[in-house]
A and B are shown apart, each in its own frame.
Chain A
């Protein structure tokens, strides 16, 4: 049984069809990529899958459960967390606090435990801090934990963004152009991180513009163009596919 099944997904924005009858499925522990020219509908697909937008048509199943129609936080709490194409960190907070926001869904204590500083509150706060620091360590950022997030260079901010998503301990991680704005060294670090996550059993769907990165890391790829899926397959199949080459040449 596939982890994520998307069938016949369609979304129109007054007049234009951003996503048109797109179907695909992602298996457990797979690294799955969505590529395509600018405006192809990749981000919109993420918005639909994560519940940020409601589809006009089509269904989404996650871990065997129909999730289309659920609110974004309900989907996140079921184990699917995403990042955004443009970094959206909480710039009034430290790196650690940003990542602790990602732990929110795992926590159980309520306002009253916080108000009275109960034992359960402290235990949970320690647990969240530990999870956040471990996540930061995985991404090589633990030394910057107590800095304001705005003071970090752009590439590291992207990593904090990913760390915040990982702190929710997702089963499925959706990354929207995670390598955008990163230099070559940061990119190779990112690839190593994605591989580590896969080894730990996480499933990753990523949108990416960097073809070299995609071809090296993705196990399966779908290609969108003008909202439609024009190809699906392994990296080497996609590279040879004449429709894909035509779509990318059309853009250039």
Chain B
């Protein structure tokens, strides 16, 4: 029996039938409610949530690469930085309208990913980790050294124009929050659609056994490259958002290209339970909010720097996740693994 297979508008973004739209409804409600809670003097917190949303875009993409296809990248901050700096340079030095910078930012990150991916994706596990780590460090060094006097080096790149929407500059915390989180929801649904298809199943097959996937007719290298580039496109897009949709209006290699940021992204994927899309979203928000919580508490800590504690927290979280996942194979967050469910248009 074929059930509701014809194309409908509702299915454009809603892959699930039955009660599976519920989590999306809850997500949209929370996203819509936040500006009401954090209004007036509290609107500073919206800018932190915007940053969380920007990181979430990276993490959603990285989760496809790590959680689904089982390939690790310790260099994703580099793609984030490529997106951010491409957009920053085009809008400040060449006067391009910020909204038009999105495409070149994403394209630049994607092209570099193709060049990096072709040699490195032939490598296995920790070699791939080392290669992507090396790439991240090279990118960071280039941005600091600023060979063509384009990036501003360690001084950074100030005065990046905000997005213009319908003639209005999206300058307030609230406007930026709205833009970022609308995009996050779209990106999230998009990714769900991409993963709940033969592409997602092929990635999971590659994760389990490359040889087995290959003899079933799956082009293993081709799929690895596709998902690597896709995740870099996400990171590049997030970089574009960071350049024009955060209150700083300022880019600096330490903020967007540092190895610590790459490791932060990986931690966000891991804490959410690899291959869990909702977990990835929660991981991104949780770990972005964490330093703010620590900063609020720093008056209680008498002299210990909150960034030191932040780093210690990451270490602790990673160790906990590793222990929990090897001992009990349970996820840290009690969210069901979603990669086991793909849609079947035919029901018996």
Contact = CB atoms under 8 A, between A and B. Distances in A.
B216 A105 contact: yes
Given A93-B204, A126-B2, A117 B209 contact: no
B208 A90 contact: yes
A238 B339 CA distance: 49
B263 interface: no
Interface residues of A, number: 53
B344 interface: yes
B6 A96 contact: no
Contacts of A72: 211, 214-215
B22 interface: no
A109 B344 CA distance: 16
B40 interface: no
Interface string B209-230: 1011111111110000010001
A111 B12 contact: no
Contacts of A105: 216-218
B5 A101 contact: no
Nearest to B15: A117
Residue of A51, A76, A110 contacting most chain B CB atoms (<10 Å): A76
A238 to B, nearest CB: 28
B33 interface: no
A46 B270 CA distance: 38
A97 B198 CA distance: 9
Contacts of B2: 126
A138 interface: no
A119 B217 contact: no
A183 interface: no
A104 B204 CA distance: 13
B340 A148 contact: yes
A115 B340 contact: no
Interface string B313-348: 000000000000000000000000101101111101
Contacts, number: 135
Given A77-B217, A111-B230, A165-B216, A104 B346 contact: no
B151 interface: no
A107 interface: yes
Interface in A103-132: 103-105, 107, 109-111, 114-119, 121-126, 128-130
Nearest to B193: A115
B214 A52 contact: yes
B202 interface: yes
A146 B202 CA distance: 18
A125 B217 contact: no
B12 A168 contact: no
Contacts of A186: none
Contacts of A75: 215
A129 B345 contact: yes
Given A73-B214, A104-B202, 6 more contacts: A73-B215, A100-B342, A104-B217, A105-B218, A116-B12, A124-B198
18 contacts: A71-B219, A73-B218, A73-B219, A75-B215, A82-B215, A88-B209, A92-B208, A92-B339, A101-B205, A111-B226, A114-B193, A117-B15, A118-B7, A119-B7, A122-B6, A126-B345, A168-B216, A168-B217
